[in-house]
Amino acid sequence: MKLKVKILKFLAGRPVCMIHEKTAEQMSLHVGDRVSIKKRDKKIISIIDTASGIINPYEIAVSNTIVENLKLKKGDAVNVEITSRPQSIHLIREKLKGKELKKAEIEEIINDISRNALTEPEIAFFISAVYNKGMSLNETKNLIQAMVQTGSQIKLRGKVADKHSIGGVAGNRTTPIIVSICSTVGLIMPKTSSRAITSAAGTADTIETIAKVDFSIKEIKNILKKTNACFVWGGALKLAPADDKIIKIGRIIKIDATAQLLASILSKKISVDSKYVLIDIPYGKSAKVTKRQAEKLKIKFLKLGKKFGLKIGVILTDGSQPIGNGVGPVLEMIDVIKVLQRQNPPKDLEEKSIMLAGKLLEMTGKVKKGNGIKLATQILYSGKALKKFEQIIKVQKGKVENFKKLKPGKYNHIIKTKRKTKIKHINNKLINSLARQLGCPEDKSAGIYLYKKANQTVEKGDKILTIYATSKEKLEHAKKFYNKNKKEIVEFG
Amino acid sequence: MKLKVKILKFLAGRPVCMIHEKTAEQMSLHVGDRVSIKKRDKKIISIIDTASGIINPYEIAVSNTIVENLKLKKGDAVNVEITSRPQSIHLIREKLKGKELKKAEIEEIINDISRNALTEPEIAFFISAVYNKGMSLNETKNLIQAMVQTGSQIKLRGKVADKHSIGGVAGNRTTPIIVSICSTVGLIMPKTSSRAITSAAGTADTIETIAKVDFSIKEIKNILKKTNACFVWGGALKLAPADDKIIKIGRIIKIDATAQLLASILSKKISVDSKYVLIDIPYGKSAKVTKRQAEKLKIKFLKLGKKFGLKIGVILTDGSQPIGNGVGPVLEMIDVIKVLQRQNPPKDLEEKSIMLAGKLLEMTGKVKKGNGIKLATQILYSGKALKKFEQIIKVQKGKVENFKKLKPGKYNHIIKTKRKTKIKHINNKLINSLARQLGCPEDKSAGIYLYKKANQTVEKGDKILTIYATSKEKLEHAKKFYNKNKKEIVEFG
């Protein structure tokens, strides 16, 4: 049936539409039914709601996502039809029962997720199925391929390389440093990052304190032409969009199916044409994985790399405490600049960045095996990495003069030790939670400065950490959280 | 924050609300966040969406469910506050990982489902967890108890009895007959039924062809006072509402976790104060369960009955083909009336109804063991069951004169045999699907009349079935479906 478009600025982030009760009745449509909305050759699937009062019969109110996808204007006529239950729901049920899915079956599910034909609870069933029944290596490969195929792809020439950390370690902002080092010697590094979901900051949040990160694919290609590297937000690029949707639902329950973790990382890398990928797996107490899990994951990464003709390097690193001093976008950016400018840099952040950059230089044949750390150190210490970083920031519309203007939130509270003792453990998860209470990552200058690391001895009255916030309320809120959890945030003894 | 109510007639069937983008920003709210909306002592939890254009700052647009729950009027002031992520999400994750849940934990999940604190994908994760990890008998018991506690309950005196079929057999409309027989001798039978979800008709749809089925709890009590029995739609009564929500999400994927099936049935029975429950488990080819599964289910029913002090009887019946001649609300009602009026009744429907009624009469001590069938037959054959049925229909605002006006849809198509052969199988699932194609259960007079049963020999030209529809289009549509699936709908040879 032809319906007239009415634009309601719903920001639901997914296709939602409403039609008048009477029109619904006439079309035999019920709330929750799936319809296809067509304008010329473009089509989108949406879940329907019905209403009266705000819309008239023969009108369809549509959300932003639909407007953008179909390039609609108010008053446009669109063709609305009921679409049947996608066959992929049946395949998800089979997976829940433990069946191994074939290539075409995985493609069907992923295609339906990316074109919005599956609802949130349906995606939740898929996530649980993959979590509970696992995926074979072949299924995982097909999952990755399907995710890549249903999204945008960037084609690039040259030695395209990338690095990725599976996350879980507070502060761990090695990416800007590694990219600056490696792109200096000609590696192409189209670094797309997410914003923080559960942690204090993502690379995108951090770079955003001094430059823009939101670019189109065309703009990214231009940036890369000028600088070999970029730090951009991947969120709007539609690289493997099915993965974005799965992550959105999966994070509700905070379960990480291994197959999904692998697919999420590799689909993004393949989408930007990476040929060399270095994976950092931090393990240990309060990290995402144990050493055993890290080793298992490593094997899977390497096997999948072979299947895709990707050169993958995996390094298991110490993830038992935060890396660097700062936690939160601004504070982490300050750490990164300290390392690049060689001004009182956090040692652990510098060392880890050099080690990973060295490994990537070796993997890509830029230097002989065993000499990577030496070369990476040279590039960093000579100031070339800083120059490259400044160049990227400028091309991304940032100002180098602003580096020194970076300041943490004006409200702060210092935590000191009460007695001479030793630091036993600093909990990554709780440090991240504390930073979130302070307002990270939206409040870019909120965060934590850590003065000490595990195994250091401290004297009575030594500073342990300072918390920063942009409002008194948030500071008080976070102080309460700290006091409630202090025994676990920093363990002494 | 105090916000002003604007009523948008959303019919989403769950609490949805919208606030202005600016107000959201001010309250640090994001799309998908959970808020509590309070008016005086009443509170409801809702998922938030943001908009601009249709609502002003400091307004909140709310769906029908919220309006009804809080008894809101346009312009009312409500208190809106962000609520944190319910702890029950964490418990669902634990269950997904295989943990056995404690009583208080199950209560927390079910309480959150019933008060709308959990979203659809969150409920989907719970369903998958129960499906994949199962539930112990104790967990199932606690699940039932939690479902009952969070819903309405009807308290009744006397021998309150109920019967339930786990479903899956087309036509199988024994309930009105059994209830009419058993309530004649004093059993109290508050029969609440659902409308058909995937089948051609539910008991509520069928009774609705001649009487009202939508009553409040108070009205039901009045009906019971007058007649000892009723046939009402349970959908709006909020008996175990968490179960309704779980069913709604679960039917997306059509998986039936055993624990959920048990909980769904028994929670409804306990909510209406049943002390005696007879369960019919049809098994066999194209039924819901195999004989082995039926036997396992029986044991679980009996064990749970003991835990609740319920007297449960379980009968395994032949579910390998449809029961009766009619499939679809009107056609099934005609079958029921034929049995009650003793006018050319479908033998299988009559026999099964007598057998189950007999068993219930024995279970409740209305007759000595072994004499149930005899008593049930007497009540039916004497016309007492018909009289009771007519009495119930009248109290439920129906007219006995209308019995003879019941007619199937005016468009029909007869399927005949092409050769002398034997009927091997009639597929329940496909007969139900065919009826749905014809428009059941919304089109009450749509449906199928079956002339033959499995193992009967047929001559060339014998009628096998007639399909009935209310429009030519639907008839043609169903004919196509029949032709595509005819080899499986009725198997010959």
Q: What are the pLDDT digits (tens) for A432-455?
A: 999 998 989 889 999 999 999 999
pLDDT at B6: 78
Q: Could you give the percent of chain A with pLDDT greater than 90?
A: 77
Which fold, A161-236+269-403? Pyrimidine Nucleoside Phosphorylase; Chain A, domain 2 (3.40.1030)
pLDDT in tens, A397-440: 999 999 999 999 999 999 999 999 999 999 999 999 999 989 89
Comparing B2-82 with B411-492, is the CATH topology the same? no
User: Considering CB atoms only, which of A13, A89, A252 is closest to B31?
Assistant: A13
Concatenated DSSP letters for A374-429? HHHHHHHHTTHHHHHHHHHHHHTT--GGGGGG----SEEEEEE-SSSEEEEEE-HH
Q: Per-domain residue ranges for chain A?
A: 2-82, 88-134, 161-236+269-403, 411-492
Query: Which residues of chain B fall short of a pLDDT of 70?
Result: 8-14, 53
**B13 to chain A: closest CA residue:** A31
DSSP for A157-208, please give it: -S-BEEEEE----TT---HHHHHHHHHHTT-BEEEEEPPPSSSS--HHHHHT
Give the residue among B442, B432, B384 at the shortest CA–CA distance from B170.
B432
Q: Do B128 and A123 touch (CB under 8 A)?
A: no
* CATH code of the domain made up of B161-236+266-403: 3.40.1030.10
Q: Are strands B447-450 and A161-165 parallel, antiparallel or unpaired?
A: unpaired
Catalytic residues of A: 256
First to last CA, chain B: 72
Q: Is the dihedral of CA B204, B208, B214, B219 positive or negative?
A: negative
Chain A residues bordering chain B (beta-carbon distance below 8 Å): 7-13, 18, 21, 31-32, 49-54, 89, 92-93, 96-97, 119-125, 127-129, 131-133, 249, 252-255
Probe site for chain A from B5, B11, B429 (most A CB atoms < 10 A): B11
pLDDT reading at A333 higher than 80: yes
Reported as half-sphere exposure (CB side, CA atoms, 13 A), residue B171 has a value of 31
CA atoms of A264 and A266, how far apart (whole Å): 6
Residues of B with a known catalytic role:
256
Q: Which of A10, A54, A253 sits opposite B125 (nearest CB)?
A: A253
User: How near does any CA of chain B get to the CA of A89, in Å?
Assistant: 6
Q: Do B122 and A53 touch (CB under 8 A)?
A: no
Contacts of B189 (CB under 8 A, 6+ apart): B160, B161, B162, B179, B182, B183, B228, B229, B230
Name which of A93, A127, A133, A253 to mutate to probe chain B: the one with the most chain B Cβ atoms within 10 A of its Cβ.
Answer: A253
Fold category of A2-82 in CATH: Barwin-like endoglucanases (2.40.40)
Distance CA(B48)–CA(B61), nearest Å, equals 10
Q: Which residues of B touch A18 (CB under 8 A)?
A: 10
CB A137 within 8 A of CB B135: no
- The average pLDDT across A140-156 equals 97
Here the tokens at position B252 are 């997306």
CB contact under 8 A, A121 and B252: yes
pLDDT tens-digit profile of A22-73?
A: 888 787 777 777 888 999 888 888 888 877 767 888 999 888 788 888 999 8
Nearest to B31 among A12, A119, A128 (CB): A12
Closest Cα in chain B to A90: B253
How many whole angstroms separate alpha carbon B371 and alpha carbon B365? 11
Structure tokens at B311: 């007297």
CA dihedral B202, B206, B208, B214 (to 10 degrees): -30
* Domain covering A88-134, topology: 1.20.970
Question: Helices (H), strands (E): how many in chain B?
Answer: 18, 18
Q: Helix (H) and strand (E) counts for chain A? A: 18, 18
Q: How many CB atoms lie within 10 A of CB B457?
A: 10
A:B CB pairs within 8 Å: 114
What pTM did the predictor assign?
A: 0.88
Q: What is the pLDDT of residue B433?
A: 93
Domain B411-492 - what CATH class?
alpha beta
Is the Cβ pair B12, A49 closer than 8 Å?
Answer: yes
Instruction: State the best of A10, A109, A127, A133 to mutate against chain B, taking most chain B CBs within 10 Å.
Output: A10
Is the model more confident about A166 or about B64?
A166
Residue A13's pLDDT is 60
Length of chain A: 493
Kindly report, residue by residue over A225-266, the tens digit of the pLDDT: 999 999 999 988 999 999 989 988 888 887 878 999 999 999
Determine the distance in angstroms separating the CA of A477 from the nearest CA of chain B, rounded to an integer: 14
* Cβ-defined contact of A53 to B9 (cutoff 8 Å): yes
Give exposure, A79-99, as e/b (b: 16+ Cβ within 10 Å): ebeeeeebebbebbbebbeee
Structure-model confidence comparison of residues A66 and A10, the more confident one: A66
Name the amino acid, one letter, at B311.
K
CA dihedral A104, A110, A116, A118 (to 10 degrees): 80
How many degrees, rounded to 5, is the angle at CA A228 between CA A223 and CA A232? 50
Rounded distance between C-alpha atoms, residue A318 and residue A290, angstroms: 10
Tokens of A188: 């192409």
A131/B254 touch (CB, cutoff 8 Å), yes or no:
no
**Interface predicted TM-score of the whole assembly (ipTM), two decimals:** 0.85
Contacts of A480 in chain B (CB under 8 A): none
Partners of B254 on chain A (C-beta within 8 Å) are 93
Which residues in chain A are closer than 8 Å to B93, comparing Cβ atoms?
253-255
CA-wise closest residue to B177 among B342, B367, B374: B342
Indicate whether A212 pLDDT > 90.
yes
Q: Write down the mean pLDDT value for chain A.
A: 93
- Predicted confidence at residue A64, as pLDDT, reads 79
Q: Which residues of B touch A (CB under 8 A)?
A: 7-13, 18, 21, 31-32, 49-54, 89, 92-93, 96-97, 119-125, 127-129, 131-133, 249, 252-255
**C-alpha closest to that of B170 among B303, B35, B286, B269:** B286
B281 CA to chain A: closest CA distance, Å? 23
Q: Which residues pair with A457 in a beta bridge?
A: A422
pLDDT tens per residue across span A97-141: 999 999 999 999 999 999 888 988 999 999 999 999 999 999 999
